[in-house]
Structure 1
Amino acid sequence: MCGRFALYADYKVILERFDIDQASFDETEYEQSYNIAPSQQVAAVVSDGNKNRLGKLKWGLIPPWAKDAKIGYKMINARSETAAEKPSYRNAFKKKRCLVVADSFYEWRKEETGKTPMLIKMKSGEPFAFAALWESWESPEGDTVHSCSILTTKPNKIMASIHDRMPVILSKEAEKIWLDPKVQDFELLESFLKPYDDGELEAYEVSDEVNSPKNNNPALIRKIS
């Protein structure tokens, strides 16, 4: 499960980190967010196999055949073990793979006293990419919505003490192959959908203010000692 994350890296850092050739929004239109929630716009990278493009996608995939956009609320995540076979994701897995850019993500650890919000990030502090799928949907009014779903997998050692699932974080080497629509070797693609190296991640408790998407400020990512 991945239901909340953050992106606060400098715009130019994102362009360099993901080898962006073209962007649909510039630095003045880029907004840092410490509490990104489902249905919001997320920064994503797509590619034609040659050039990487940075744009925005609505978080919560709406299949092309959907009659109502509300189905997207139920499709913020896709299980990596079955995504290539599911009718809702099969076409996207083959042709419309993307990266969702993040600096950290949140998960809630169940305890006797309730749920404790935890933040998970790279020890290096650099931004990273979730493996994701995207689709385009046309509303009855003729509006086109581009949306996405983040893939999840079983937890690594760090995440196992927090939750039974984690988002798929791709290695830098896997990102280029994942983005290339000409690559349709499902066995190769599925080999990337595994728990990320826990030695490169850290997790710590944060303020329960993150529980509400209405709260969005740098204090949300600070460690509670």
Structure 2
Amino acid sequence: MCGRIRQAGDGEQYMETLNWNPRAILNDVQAPKFNVPPGTRPLTLHRLGDGSEQVERMFWGYKPAWYKRGPASNARLDTVLNGSPFWLPLLTRRILVPAEGWYEWIGEKTSKQPWYIHAKNDAPILMAAIAAWSPGAEMNAAHGFAIVTDDAAGGMVDIHDRRPIVLAPEDALAWLDPATRVEDALAMLTTPRPESAFVWHPVTPAMGNSRYQLADASEPF
């Protein structure tokens, strides 16, 4: 799964990863976030609406009006590929969630140890996500997004059995392109960046509290 992310940049480096125009987010004045949980509004990259390159702070979590449980922050790839009616309406509203990395926990419920996972080269990562948002919609769970996740592999399984799907920049651009057919977009999700592209280490248990926003939240512990 993907329950927390580190999104501490000002956004320009995320857009530079895709060769987008960084001026689109110069008005964003929010402080860096070292420990971002669902239920908040992280930066997202998209081409919804008129097809232009956009940056938006969307609500992390999706809950349609008829859904009785809490907002879903992740969308399982197997469920998406099987044509789940829950996710099917969102497959043409594809977005990216950029970040430096994400957090997972291991251990018993009373003493869980958080770990931070990031790219070996420390470059920003681009997580595939789907959204119910459209221009003019409220920023709430009814119009929120979910990060697509798949089974983990390799040594990453020791940290968690699931992981967010991280796309290479060229696939990320195609994922966002409104002209990309849904079938082709879904095919990209089956060949994400491999586990060998990432490294991980334990971090301070203090970041288990989502209000912990110090820069050392992702430092080795």
What TM bracket, shorter-length normalisation? Answer: 0.7 to 0.9
1:107-146 aligned within 5 A: 107-110=104-107, 114-136=111-133, 143=138, 145=140, 146=143
* Unmatched runs of 5 consecutive residues or more in structure 2: none
Aligned to 1:26: 26
The Cα shift of 1:157 comes to 1.2
TM-score for both structures, normalised by structure 2: 0.86
The Cα shift of 1:55 comes to 1.0
Residue 179 (1) aligns with residue 180 (2): no
SS of 2:112 mapped into structure 1: strand
TM-score for both structures, normalised by structure 1: 0.84
Aligned to 1:219: 216
**Contact 2:43-2:98 within 8 A present in 1 as well:** yes
Aligned to 2:44: 44
Q: In the aligned structure 2, how far is the partner of 1:190 from the partner of 1:61?
A: 23
**Contact 2:175-2:185 within 8 A present in 1 as well:** no
SS of 2:78 mapped into structure 1: coil
The Cα shift of 1:183 comes to 1.6
1:3 alignment partner AA: G
CA RMSD of aligned residues (A): 2.6
The Cα shift of 1:180 comes to 1.4
1:205–1:186 distance in 2 versus 1, CA, 3 Å: same
The Cα shift of 1:218 comes to 0.6
2:153 alignment partner AA: N
SS of 2:62 mapped into structure 1: coil
- Kindly indicate which of the two structures has a greater share of residues assigned to strand: 1
* Aligned residue pair count: 215
1:112–1:26 distance in 2 versus 1, CA, 3 Å: closer
**Contact 1:105-1:120 within 8 A present in 2 as well:** yes
Q: In the aligned structure 2, how far is the partner of 1:172 from the partner of 1:211?
A: 30
Q: In the aligned structure 1, how far is the partner of 2:109 from the partner of 2:7?
A: 31
